[in-house]
Structures are given as C-alpha cells and as structure tokens.
Amino acid sequence: MLTRDNRLPYVAVTKGEYLSVLEAAVGRLYAAQKKKLDAESNPTTRTALMGDLDSKHQRRLATLASNRAKYRDRLSEPATIATMQPDALLENVPDVFEGNGGSTKRLQVYTIDPAAVAAAKTDTPQWVVVSWTAQLTDPASRHLHEAVTSAFDFQYVRDYFFAPEKVKGRPYAPVK
C-alpha cells in the first residue's frame, strides 16, 4: 500500500470500541429480523418465531454483558478475534475475542482512520494498492514474486500519484 505520507489509512480498534460496535450490530440484526417477522401472516407461527428471536437476542446481549465484565480492565487493548469477519450472531459464542476456543490464531481488528475518510472525500487519491498472488512453494509463483519485489518501481508509482512533478515526462521503467 503506497500512501502520500507513508501512513496506513487504518487504525486498530480497541476491545471497548469493538464491543460497542458489536452491541449496535446486535440491535440492528434484531430489528431487521423482527421486521421480517412482522410480515408473517400466521399469528401462531409469528408468535413462535418471535419467541425464538427474543431468546436469541437475550443470549446475544448476555454474551456482550459477560464479555464487558470479563474485559472491563482491558477495554483499551487492541481487539483481536478468531474469525475473518466479525459476526453479530453471538448466541453460541462464549467469548467474542476468543471465539469457541478452537483456533489459537487471532486477527487484529482495524477500521479506516477518520482522517483518511475525510481526505478520501477530496478528488485526490489517498492510497494505491499494488498486489499480486504468490505461492512461494511453487517455483513459477516464487519467480513472479521475486521479479515484482526486485524489478517493480514502487517509487515511480508512488510519485506518479502523489508527486506527479517528479515523474513528469518520464515513462515507467522497471528498476533493473
């Protein structure tokens, strides 16, 4: 990721922030599911489904409350979770940060920096992502990776977007 000032456009989320956002997500999920049930024409079915929905919602809120209590002294720590995507379906998860305890791998939770969001509303690019695939155990893929990392002129691309006067009139050329 190439940026104007070499600062990444995202910031780490704390456990306290994560729990607050998750609580709002649980509320939105409940409202959306309740709205779907309100369209149910059979009152008996609606009552049964509403009871199940309320039960799940209460379990989700209980999970959030127990996690707030468990981490009350650590709410300013960076949030790490066991899944690729946060999920508001908490009724079967005892700990939102540890998951079900099946995996020891944890992923840090990030959000876009509010300053980057404000800057993105301008007409100038804020960052450029250069990516490629690399299976480093495959010889052909490893060769591609080495070629990109050794011959691609990242500085030219950075200057092209963030300091065009430095590359004006000069065509792109590989480093080697």
pLDDT in tens, 109-136: 999 999 888 988 988 889 999 999 888 8
pTM of the entire predicted model: 0.74
Q: For 32-76, how does the pLDDT look when each residue is reduced to its tens digit (9 = 90+)?
A: 999 988 887 788 888 888 889 999 999 999 999 999 999 999 999
Q: What are the φ/ψ torsions at residue 95 (nearest 5 degrees)?
A: -140, 120
**Structural domain spans, the chain:** 12-112
Residue 169 has pLDDT above 80, yes or no: yes
Q: Which residues contact 53 (CB under 8 A, 6 or more apart)?
A: 30, 33, 34, 37
> Residue 152 has what pLDDT?
95
Between CA 124 and CA 137 the distance in angstroms is 39
Percent above pLDDT 90 for the chain: 65
Residue 19 has pLDDT above 90, yes or no: yes
> Residue 78 has what pLDDT?
95
> Residue 154 has what pLDDT?
95
Q: Which residues contact 63 (CB under 8 A, 6 or more apart)?
A: 90, 91, 93, 94, 96
